């Protein structure tokens, strides 16, 4: 176990005059607090925070961060308190330690909710100070290195969490070495058979190609030196999990992989990067489509490099990365390589990696519940990205597989909510098209649009998903509120009482509701009777004096046409559906059935289902058609046809419906006897006249014995 003076010496290797007093005090305090505690392996518990501190010294972090590493488990696992930490080490260190402390007493039902709430707390602390993440990642790395002492089920759970959350977080801030090790250690526990197989193949390949990689490295260095470019060339082997992921995603065998080995060319300046690239491309043939310039357009995690693949001297594919020493440091250590982070946070200029992470955390906070938050976090953190452009040239980075809908929400939530189409590179394309690097995306908008709920299944970003869910919920709530307002207006009118939103606002305490919208939505969902609202506003009014809405039918003569609730169609401002047993079409006398939580279902007044459903606690509403002639809409109907059972019958029936502009939605056929069969057809029509015309023409065909409309 590392001693006090050894820790100080490690820090003194990169800080001229380290704060020895702080380091010594944190070392002694943590050792005393953890006392005789043991890890699952049997080692003294204090060895863990000490190893975390050692990992951070390898990253050349400041003394405060090293002290936080030593103290990071004291509040959670000992009798130490935040107040005590503040008094001994200062509020800033106390704040960082608290940010790393899990919430042990969460009163939540599911493990996923607990995991999400702890992660949410950690991410909020990260957005305040990046050093929280650096300590947490080092903590997780040491835990993964010593995971073997745990039960197998716990090993797999922790490894899965590491793979899904912490490895991507390391990648998000550019700490690729740390990410690679976290992924490799997780892979070992999540899929041990695959891990052993890949490791075995890689070891065999390394032995087989040892001389070849040395030869290619020397060849590159010599050729570049001859061209006047001073360069350091090194080979690298693809990591086990990276190999497995590529095999799995592309359906390749190990033998089919052509890029297990790559080479890095480290030069002195950015200009030398492009000179080296030009020389390599003149010397060896470039593989088309395999060049990427991350110097002119860096990744979100600050990564910069030129990537290319060439056909090497032995006719094999060779992957090359060309970068400067400074770029190489950022590529390996990410945000920890940023010089401003070594002097604390007082003068930190945010790197784009940290800025991007903070924006992501702000977006993640939009999740409406813990499970959504966890889902969105996993979606947002993976780093395979495409870079697209707005018409004004602004770069938008999105996960691979993103669509123009994701792009619209990445620009602004309002743009996503009002998106109705898009142009990709000047050409109108479907909004579910997968975006490619370099696409210019122009979003087409409409103020009347709200995002279809189905879009949730085609987007790739957490922000888009949460925004679509929220907009869908708001749209449904608005529909129920509108219906509730209309029901209340008619109910108050029948009770001969004044109604307005101010009166309802004043009565909210009696209804035990917080907002007027809450009341309207519950009335619209038939979860609160309209008479309860009347009695809340007019307490002296008796329910016997209220003319109940229940029992109203389409034939009820007590209400005028203007009193009835207007029904337009499924795209109206009311939550409307049509009976599945035949539906209703404009021209029918109709009745609205209000079931709790299901909105209005429209039936023809002659439907046999009405009597049964009324007995199930449904409420009948007096409704009327309100057809928009400018935006005509089809409505569902069902017909039953008895026809001859012979070849060509189905084609003839379908032809009649098509020629009369009907739209078949569903078809069921049943042979009654050898000579006859019965068809039930769900058909969309413009109205009763249109439906009657189709029935008339079908009945006139020689194959037809009988045609009926089914109304339930």
Q: What is the 3-state secondary structure (H, E, C) of 350-416?
A: CCHHHHHHHHHHHHHCCCCCHHHHHHHHHHHHCCCEEEEECCCCCEEEEECCCCHHHHHHHHCHHHH
Q: Hey, is 623 helix, strand or coil?
A: strand
User: Which residue numbers in the chain have pLDDT < 50?
Assistant: 105-109, 339-349, 383, 547-559
- Cβ–Cβ < 8 Å for 436, 451: no
Task: Mark whether 77 is an active-site residue.
Answer: yes
pLDDT number for residue 416 = 92
- Cβ–Cβ < 8 Å for 293, 306: yes
- Cβ–Cβ < 8 Å for 442, 423: yes
Give me 119's structure tokens: 């992660």
Q: Which of 9, 20, 58, 76 is catalytic?
A: 76
- Cβ–Cβ < 8 Å for 89, 67: yes
Beta bridge partners of 234: 264
pLDDT number for residue 235 = 86
CA 234 from chain centre, in angstroms, equals: 38
Cα–Cα nearest to 74, from 26, 34, 133: 34
CB atoms within 10 A of CB 167: 29
pLDDT number for residue 321 = 93
Give me 442's structure tokens: 């122009």
The domain made up of 4-189 is a member of CATH 1.10.3210.10: yes
Residue 179 exposed, middle or buried by CB count within 10 Å (0-12, 13-18, 19+): buried
Task: Mark whether 644 is an active-site residue.
Answer: no
pLDDT number for residue 581 = 73
Could you give the residue range(s) of every CATH 3.10.20.30 domain in the chain?
Answer: 352-453
Between strands 663-671 and 676-685, the pairing is antiparallel
pLDDT number for residue 530 = 83
pLDDT number for residue 406 = 92
Cα–Cα nearest to 140, from 119, 120, 114: 119
pLDDT number for residue 556 = 40
- CATH of the domain spanning 352-453, picked from 3.10.20.30, 2.40.128.260, 3.90.1150.10, 2.160.10.10: 3.10.20.30
CATH topology of domain 635-710: Alpha-Beta Plaits (3.30.70)
Q: Which of 77, 221, 371, 434 is catalytic?
A: 77
- Cβ–Cβ < 8 Å for 645, 674: yes
Residue whose pair of structure tokens reads 């049964």 in the numeric block? 612
The domain made up of 194-340 is a member of CATH 3.40.50.720: no
Could you give the residue range(s) of every CATH 3.30.460.10 domain in the chain?
Answer: 194-340
Give me 161's structure tokens: 């969490």
Cα–Cα nearest to 267, from 204, 195, 205, 320: 320
Cα–Cα nearest to 477, from 336, 599, 650: 599
Cα–Cα nearest to 23, from 59, 53, 58, 55: 53
Could you give the residue range(s) of every CATH 3.30.70.260 domain in the chain?
Answer: 635-710
């Amino acid at each position: 176990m590392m001693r006090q003076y050894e820790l100080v010496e490690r820090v003194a290797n990169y800080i001229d005059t380290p704060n020895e007093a702080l380091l010594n005090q944190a070392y002694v305090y943590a050792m005393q607090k953890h006392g005789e505690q043991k890890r699952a392996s049997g080692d003294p518990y204090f060895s863990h925070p000490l190893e975390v501190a050692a990992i951070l010294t390898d990253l050349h972090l400041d003394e405060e961060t090293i002290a936080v590493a030593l103290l990071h488990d004291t509040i959670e696992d000992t009798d130490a308190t935040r107040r005590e930490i503040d008094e001994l080490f200062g509020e800033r260190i106390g704040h960082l330690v608290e940010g790393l402390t899990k919430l042990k007493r969460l009163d939540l039902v599911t493990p996923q909710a607990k995991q999400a709430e702890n992660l949410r707390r950690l991410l909020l602390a990260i957005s305040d100070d990046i050093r929280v993440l650096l300590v947490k990642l080092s903590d997780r790395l040491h835990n993964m290195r010593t995971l073997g002492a745990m039960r197998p089920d716990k090993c797999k759970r922790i490894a899965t969490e590491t793979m899904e959350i912490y490895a991507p977080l390391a990648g998000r801030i550019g700490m690729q070495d740390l990410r690679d090790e976290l992924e490799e250690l997780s892979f070992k526990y999540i899929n041990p058979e695959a891990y052993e197989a890949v490791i075995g193949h890689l070891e065999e390949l390394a032995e087989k190609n040892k001389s070849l990689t040395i030869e290619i490295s020397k060849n590159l260095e010599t050729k570049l030196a001859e061209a006047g470019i001073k360069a350091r060339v090194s080979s690298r082997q693809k990591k086990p999990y990276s190999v497995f992921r590529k095999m799995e995603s592309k359906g390749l065998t190990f033998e089919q992989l052509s890029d297990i080995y790559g080479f890095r060319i480290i030069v002195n300046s950015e200009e030398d990067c492009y000179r080296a690239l030009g020389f390599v491309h003149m010397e060896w043939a470039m593989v088309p489509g395999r060049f990427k310039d991350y110097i002119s357009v860096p990744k979100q995690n600050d990564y910069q490099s030129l990537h290319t693949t060439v056909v090497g001297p032995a006719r094999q594919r060779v992957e090359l990365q060309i970068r400067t020493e400074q770029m190489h440091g950022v590529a390996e250590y990410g945000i920890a390589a940023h010089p401003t982070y070594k002097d604390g946070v007082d003068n930190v200029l945010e790197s784009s990696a940290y800025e991007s992470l903070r924006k992501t955390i702000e977006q993640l906070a939009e999740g409406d519940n813990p499970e959504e938050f966890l889902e969105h976090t996993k979606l947002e953190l993976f780093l395979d990205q495409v870079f697209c452009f707005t018409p004004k040239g602004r770069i938008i980075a999105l996960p691979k597989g993103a669509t123009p809908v994701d792009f619209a929400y990445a620009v602004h939530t309002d743009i996503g909510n009002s998106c109705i189409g898009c142009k990709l590179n000047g050409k109108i394309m479907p909004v579910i098209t997968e975006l490619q690097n370099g696409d210019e995306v122009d979003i087409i908008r409409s103020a009347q649009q709200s995002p279809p709920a189905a879009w949730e299944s085609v987007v790739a970003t957490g922000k888009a998903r949460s925004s679509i869910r929220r907009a869908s919920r708001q749209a449904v709530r608005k529909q129920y509120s509108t219906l509730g307002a209309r029901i209340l207006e008619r109910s108050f009118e029948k009770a001969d009482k004044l109604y307005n939103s101010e009166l309802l606002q004043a009565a909210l305490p009696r209804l035990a509701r917080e907002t007027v919208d809450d009341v309207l939505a519950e009335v619209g969902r038939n979860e609160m009777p309209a008479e309860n609202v009347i009695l809340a506003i007019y307490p002296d009014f008796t329910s016997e004096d209220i003319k109940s809405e229940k029992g109203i039918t389409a034939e009820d003569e007590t209400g005028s046409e203007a009193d009835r609730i207007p029904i337009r169609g499924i795209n109206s401002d009311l939550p409307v559906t049509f009976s599945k047993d035949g539906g209703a079409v404009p021209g029918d006398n109709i009745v609205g059935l209000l079931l709790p939580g299901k909105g209005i279902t429209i039936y023809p007044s002659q439907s046999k289902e009405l009597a049964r459903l009324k007995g199930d606690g449904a409420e009948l509403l007096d409704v009327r058609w309100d057809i928009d002639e400018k935006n005509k809409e089809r409505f569902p109907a069902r017909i039953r046809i008895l026809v001859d059972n012979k070849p060509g019958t189905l084609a003839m029936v379908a032809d009649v419906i098509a020629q009369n502009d009907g739209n078949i939605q569903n078809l069921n056929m049943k042979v009654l006897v050898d000579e006859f069969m019965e068809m039930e057809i769900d058909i969309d029509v413009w109205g009763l006249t249109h439906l009657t015309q189709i029935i008339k023409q079908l009945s006139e065909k020689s194959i037809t014995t009988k045609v009926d409309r089914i109304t339930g």
